[in-house]
Every structure is written in C-alpha cells, then in structure tokens.
C-alpha cells in the first residue's frame, strides 16, 4: 500500500507565506489611507462622521466571535469531536454571512444617499472626502470579497470534515482555513478604527 506523503509543517509554512502576501496587499492600501489621512485629515474626520459606528462595531464583534468559533472548531476536531467541530464551523459561516448582510445594509444606505464610486454627489464633495469614500469602498470591498471567499472555503472544509477527509489525525486543511479566516478578522480589526472611529 502506498502512503501519501504528509508534510504538516510545510503545509503551514506555505499558508503563512501566503498570508504575508495578503498583509502586503492590504498594507499597500493602508499606506495609501495613511498618506491621504495626513494630507486631508479634516476632510477625513468629516466624512468618517457619516459612517455608522454601531454597524461597524457590531461587525467587529461578529468577526471576533466567528474567529473564536473557528478556533474552537479546531480544538474540537483535535479532541475527536467531529459533530461539535461541524457545528462550530456552521456557526462561523453563519456569522460570516451576518457580517456580509450588515455590510450590505450599510452600503445600501450609502447608495441611497448618492454615495457610491463615481457618483455626482461624491464628485461635488471636497476632494479629501471623495478620497475617503473611495478608500472606504475599495478597502471594505476587498475585505468583503475575502469574507465571501472565507464562506466558500469554510463550507468546503465542512464537506471534507463530514466525509472524513479532514479528521483528528490529519487536520492541517482545517487549520490553514482557520488561519485564513483569522487573517480576515485581523484586517477588519485595523479597518474598523481607521474608518469608523477617527471622527
């Protein structure tokens, strides 16, 4: 019988290297944000006042909690409790969907006020405010795509756990998906204060 080669440490190293490229991707956008915050700090303060701190704060708690469920699901699988692991993963995905629903409500409210990329209303605003909203849509949008991908990945991992492809003795796929999910949480931890709390 041929046994497939497993390289646990290598799999995790590869995942972390990928995460570093993600950090640099968002790092570039954060750099852009901070350079413009420096140049147009008054406009940024005015524009940030229109963002809903309650919705932003709620989304922060949602993501932190989903990360907590994700970490617990790994513990559950390591202890051989597959049902509990699946339940916790389902909760993680549910919270991710909640985050997206929240985000959709928030963006919709902005659209209703005529604030969307390239809109007349946005072009009439002071330049700093226009840049703030452009960065807001670009960065929360890119982050939202990551959340959506996370939903897909975690749902796929749920199938793998169900079928026993990911199990107590071989769980690196679950762990790496968890790392991805925590990174999504990490990015939001910085996005939230920078966009919602600088009023």
Partner 1 sequence: MAELDKRHAPHILSDRLLATVWATLVCLTAITIAVARIDLGFYNILAALSIATTKALLVIFFFMHMKYEHALLKWLLFLACVVLAIFIGLTFFDVAFRLQVRS
Q: What is the binding site for partner 1 (CB under 8 A)? A: 7-10, 12-13, 16-17, 20, 23-24, 27-28, 30-31, 34-35, 37-39, 53, 57, 60-61, 64-65, 67-68, 70-72, 74-75, 78-79, 175, 178-179, 182-183, 185-186, 189-190, 192-194, 197-199
| Three-class SS of 31-72 | HHHHHHHHHCHHHHHHHHCCCCHHHHHHHHHHHHHHHHHHHH
Please list the residues that pair with 170 across neighbouring strands.
Answer: 167
Whole-number minimum distance, CB 9 to partner 1, in Å?
A: 4
> Which lies closer to partner 1 via its Cβ, residue 116 or residue 173?
173
Whole-number minimum distance, CB 35 to partner 1, in Å?
A: 5
> Which lies closer to partner 1 via its Cβ, residue 75 or residue 162?
75
> Which lies closer to partner 1 via its Cβ, residue 159 or residue 189?
189
Tally of CA atoms within 13 A in the half-sphere of 80 that contains its CB:
1
Provide the token pair at 1.
Answer: 């019988």
Whole-number minimum distance, CB 118 to partner 1, in Å?
A: 26
Residue 81 sits at φ, ψ, to 5 deg, of -95, 85
3-state helix, strand, coil in the chain (%, to 5): 80, 0, 15
Whole-number minimum distance, CB 191 to partner 1, in Å?
A: 9
Whole-number minimum distance, CB 196 to partner 1, in Å?
A: 8
> Which lies closer to partner 1 via its Cβ, residue 116 or residue 194?
194
- How far apart CA 107 and CA 115 sit, in angstroms, is 9
> Which lies closer to partner 1 via its Cβ, residue 82 or residue 182?
182
Provide the token pair at 70.
Answer: 């994700």
């Amino acid at each position: 019988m041929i046994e497939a080669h497993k390289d646990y440490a290598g799999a995790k190293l590869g995942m972390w290297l990928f995460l570093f490229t993600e950090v640099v991707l968002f790092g570039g956008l954060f750099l852009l944000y901070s350079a413009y915050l420096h140049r147009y700090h008054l406009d940024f303060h005015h524009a940030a006042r229109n963002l809903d701190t309650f919705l932003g704060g709620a989304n922060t708690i949602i993501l932190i909690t989903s990360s907590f469920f994700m970490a617990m699901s790994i513990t559950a699988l390591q202890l051989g409790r597959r049902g509990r692991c699946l339940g916790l993963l389902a909760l993680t995905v549910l919270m991710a969907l909640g985050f997206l629903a929240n985000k959709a409500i928030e963006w919709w409210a902005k659209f209703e006020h005529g604030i969307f990329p390239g809109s007349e209303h946005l072009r009439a605003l002071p330049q700093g405010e226009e840049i703030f909203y452009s960065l807001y849509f670009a960065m929360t949008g890119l982050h939202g795509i990551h959340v959506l991908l996370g939903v897909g990945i975690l749902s796929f991992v749920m199938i793998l756990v169900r079928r026993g492809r990911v199990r107590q003795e071989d769980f690196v796929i679950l762990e790496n998906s968890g790392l991805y999910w925590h990174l999504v949480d990490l990015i939001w931890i910085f996005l939230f204060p920078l966009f919602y709390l600088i009023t």
